[in-house]
Amino acid sequence: LLELILALGVVGFIVVISLGAIRLGTSTQEIGYSKIDTFQRLRFIENLIAQKIKSIYPVFIFPDESIFNSKKFKNNPKRFLAFEGTSDSIRFVTFSAPLTSQGKSPWMHETTFYNGEHPESGKSGIIMAERTITSDHKTKHVFNNSDQRRYFLLAENVAYLKFRYYQIKELSS
């Protein structure tokens, strides 16, 4: 009887240690999957931003004018690059396909990346906004404040988003 009690105590002790190791392994696996998911989301966001930026072609706009008016482009030397960048946001015109392209893609669209609040859901994180610019929108202006954008929450609960820019100085000729 004493040997049986001793054997059951040893088996119980081994089972408790084994269950603790399995629980530790499971929690470590969950933490690992969580980190993998986070890094995959960051890689997706990085690739998306890189793809959009690689598809930038310098589009020049005029104050209070549509970019499709080529006569103004030739007559007015004062023009601005359709690009805005701050330390926590970037806004530009790109020729890459929109995130939700269905069928024939528009030939260009305005894209904005920023860290803030999603206007529809109220969740905070990295937001991407897209607005299509086509030749049918001759009355619309690039970088206007119309609310025809589609907003996408790319990552939730992001502490900060930081962009850095190279500053090019104009060389005197």
Strand partners, 110: 93, 131
| 20-29, 62-71, 131-140, 159-168, range with the lowest pLDDT | 62-71
Considering only residues 7 and 97, tell me which one the structure prediction assigns the higher pLDDT.
Answer: 7
pLDDT in tens, 42-89: 898 889 888 888 888 777 776 554 444 445 445 555 667 788 888 889
Give dist(CA 125, CA 156) in Å, integer.
4
The pLDDT value given to residue 75: 57
pLDDT in tens, 94-132: 888 777 665 565 567 888 999 999 988 889 999 999 887
d(CA 23, CA 41): 27
Residue 11's pLDDT band (cuts 50, 70, 90): very high
- The bridge status of strand 80-81 relative to strand 60-61 is antiparallel
The token pair that represents 148 in the structure block: 């025809």
Residue 146: band (very low, low, confident or very high) from pLDDT cuts 50, 70, 90:
low
Handedness of CA 167, 165, 52, 85 (dihedral sign): negative
What's residue 171's pLDDT? 57
* Chain mean pLDDT for the chain: 79
Residue 143: predicted pLDDT: 54
Which residue in the block uniquely carries the two structure tokens 């939730």? 156
All residues at 6 or more sequence positions from 73 whose CB lies less than 8 Å from its CB, including other chains: 60, 62, 79
Cα angle, residue 113 at apex, residues 45 and 33 outer, rounded to 5°: 25
